[in-house]
A = this chain, B = another copy of it.
């Protein structure tokens, strides 16, 4: 690998001048610029990004923490982030937090030790206090899918309350009155918000929510299986089931069929997130769109703009959920 020094020698100029043309900086006469450029060309010179980083105190890398690398949720986000960053010559360092507080902290520490210029965090377990504390350390970071008031311009999130509202409303508008609900873990903010939206729609329609039709799930497939089983084991009957995410909806579907129910005629099911396999399910799952891709892109743009001083115009923080209509929601006649 040729160094900047060899280039300067070949071009008959100083090291500083080469550095200038490499960085497109300041003023260099066209003539010397050409000399340098052709020297670079013939030597196949490629700047050593590590040396650049050391000298400039910029690693040009941004760390990404997601709860899982696999699964159907984060791929789209990472994809958007990577694309956006690479277009600006930055790179993404990824790591997983496994939705565990300790592991998330370790992941963040790891990324920090890598001297990332910024962090894009999709945390699930870490506390707001930890993040606010992290903020004091002058390490730029953004948060995906969670809103912290003090850091709101750096949070990119779905309006989960509205999402819950839309889902419930769609079900109600299809004529359902007896509606069961499998929530997410009570501790999780998005689960609470979705439930709140759910209640708002019920209030608005003048339908009473029955506690017996409300069970807590774990956001996993198994939670849907068990949730439906629990619901079926009490006396209250229902014609529709809202699941706080698609995984649970999937589990509920299997269990429903296991119980010999016809879908969606005997039971309508609606999910949340519109993960990749939702359209592959049978019947196709009607669900609420969770625009992770766009959120990822926005997060990357925030970093580009605020950390790397790129000119970027529009950055959107709050995202609106949309109903994705497929076949799992039937109309009651």
Count identical subunits in the complex.
2
A220 within 8 A of B: no
Query: Which residues of B sit under 8 angstroms from A47, Cβ to Cβ?
Result: 113
Contact: A113 with B50, CB < 8 Å?
A: no
Query: Which residues of B sit under 8 angstroms from A93, Cβ to Cβ?
Result: 61, 91-93
Contact: A49 with B114, CB < 8 Å?
A: yes
A82 within 8 A of B: yes
- Which of A82, A280, A281 has the most chain B CB atoms inside 10 A of its CB? A280
A78 within 8 A of B: yes
- Min C-beta distance of A77 to chain B, whole Å: 8
Residue of B nearest to A51 (CB): B54
A70 within 8 A of B: yes
Contact: A78 with B82, CB < 8 Å?
A: no
Count, chain A residues at interface, CB 8 A = 42
Contact: A115 with B49, CB < 8 Å?
A: yes
Query: Which residues of B sit under 8 angstroms from A113, Cβ to Cβ?
Result: 46-47, 49
Contact: B115 with A50, CB < 8 Å?
A: yes
Within 8 A of B (CB), among A149-180: none
A8 within 8 A of B: no
Within 8 A of B (CB), among A92-120: 92-96, 110, 113-115
A250 within 8 A of B: yes
A229 within 8 A of B: no
Give the docked Cα–Cα distance between A314 and B281 (Å): 39
Query: Which residues of B sit under 8 angstroms from A232, Cβ to Cβ?
Result: none
Chain A residues near B (Cβ < 8 Å): 46-51, 53-54, 59, 61, 68-72, 74-76, 78-79, 82-83, 86, 91-96, 110, 113-115, 221, 250, 253, 257, 276-277, 280-282
A and B contact pairs by CB, cutoff 8 A, 8 listed: A48-B115, A50-B54, A70-B78, A72-B75, A91-B93, A91-B110, A221-B280, A277-B280
Given contacts A49-B114, A91-B93, A277-B277, 20 further A-B contacts (CB under 8 A): A48-B115, A49-B113, A50-B53, A50-B54, A50-B115, A61-B93, A69-B76, A69-B79, A70-B76, A72-B72, A74-B75, A78-B94, A79-B96, A83-B96, A91-B95, A94-B94, A221-B280, A257-B282, A280-B281, A281-B282
